[in-house]
Amino acid sequence: MWAGNAWRAALFGVPRGRRAQSALAQLRGILEGELEGIRGAGTWKSERVITSRQGPHIRVDGVSGGPGTVIFPGPSLPHLSCCIHLLSFTSGILNFCANNYLGLSSHPKVIQAGLQALEEFGAGLSSVRFICGTQSIHKNLEAKIAHFHQREDAILYPSCFDANAGLFEALLTPEDAVLSDELNHASIIDGIRLCKAHKYRYRHLDMADLEAKLQEAQKHRLRLVATDGAFSMDGDIAPLQEICHLASRYGALVFVDECHATGFLGPTGRGTDELLGVMDQVTIINSTLGKALGGASGGYTTGPGPLVSLLRQRARPYLFSNSLPPAVVGCASKALDLLMESNTIVQSMAAKTQRFRSKMEAAGFTISGASHPICPVMLGDARLASRMADDMLKRGIFVIGFSYPVVPKGKARIRVQISAVHSEEDIDRCVEAFVEVGQLHGALP
């Protein structure tokens, strides 16, 4: 016995428990070094705690604000534009950084639909879809999504990140090629990494470079051009007419991620393909239920029926993730209903977006993108963006500074997002605070 212990001590040097402690101490040292590097670079991301429902006016833990009013379409009337319903509370921090484009995250009808689904279908399925996790509401929502986008079929995922993770690996083989805009969302990039297709990256919105890559990719079986419809960090919109023209010329398919377009871009909110008149030329759309369409969670792919059938058989995030909870499905379904009943709220966003952009540019700020409710206030320096965002909160405006690795180094910004339920007074108050804080920090003369 002693000989065995001596042999172990000689072989491993220290007892097992001490080795484990040593490994943990080493890990802690590595992690603390990484975290200190993030703090030192000025890119540390803190999480502010909201103590109210999501909306244009919110309450934030530890921050006081003035009276606030939330404006909702009348809950007893069928259309979004018929009436307004006012909810007042004592703390009015103005939220200008949510993806709550249509203001439906706390809409009374959306909440009621979620409660009804929770009561009727339960809290969850405790299963993936193909075992015992498909309810009638899941199939109904998928059919509604396909109808909304004028596609053959649709498939639900827990998130659009999962939809992007599931698509490329299931669809593309080593015989194929995927051509991706260099500024595509991280979920598209990660999804492409999972597949075995040949990978081409073209310069952002550069159609000459895309054409050169398409020419190079002619040797492959399938060619799939992948782009965001609206780019979430810059607020610019993909030139889908040109992309679709090149795809047709070189025999390629077109995939568009519409997370920052579904519900509010285009005459009826169908997205960038509707906005630019190419709905019949885009093959595959991935989008989210977690932004304009209720803001809870969930994503989807919609497109050709055989593709959706293949994804049900092979997409790993679909096969190995629990079904969307019934309450989430109910909320998203009602949000779609409201959107399809009236597009008035969609049309109101353009004027509000233009009001903010024009006033900020007149004050001397540089706003990236054009005509999209994502309005990035470009500042360059990460610390400046973070400090200005903190001082905006002190003035009752909730915005967040974005810096590396979310955006490239030297391209830090405060991303402002306009919602249909922001009032003109809300927008003017936000601009006034930006001017005051910008002058305080030397971002404005």
What positions carry a catalytic annotation?
Answer: 232, 260, 291
> Could you tell me if 162 and 299 are in contact, meaning their C-beta atoms sit under 8 angstroms apart?
yes
Token digits for 127? Answer: 């299963």
C-alpha distances in Å from residue 407, one per residue of 201, 354, 403, 425: 17, 24, 5, 30
3-state SS, the chain, equals CHHHHHHHHHHHCCCHHHHHHHHHHHHHHHHHHHHHHHHHCCCCCCCCCECCCCCCEECECCECCCCEEEEEECCCCCCCCCCEEEEEECCCEEECCCCCCCCCCCCHHHHHHHHHHHHHHCCCCCCEHHHHCCCHHHHHHHHHHHHHHCCCEEEEECCHHHHHHHHHHHHCCCCCEEEEECCCCHHHHHHHHHCCCEEEEECCCCHHHHHHHHHHHHHCCCEEEEEECECCCCCCECCHHHHHHHHHHCCCEEEEECCCCCCCCCCCCCCHHHHCCCCCCCCEEEEECCCCCCCCCCEEEEECHHHHHHHHHHCHHHHCCECCCHHHHHHHHHHHHHHHHCCHHHHHHHHHHHHHHHHHHHHCCCECCCCCCEEEEEEECHHHHHHHHHHHHHCCEECCEECCCCCCCCCEEEEEECCCCCCHHHHHHHHHHHHHHHHHCCCCC
Rounded-to-integer distance, Cα 91 and Cα 103, Å: 18
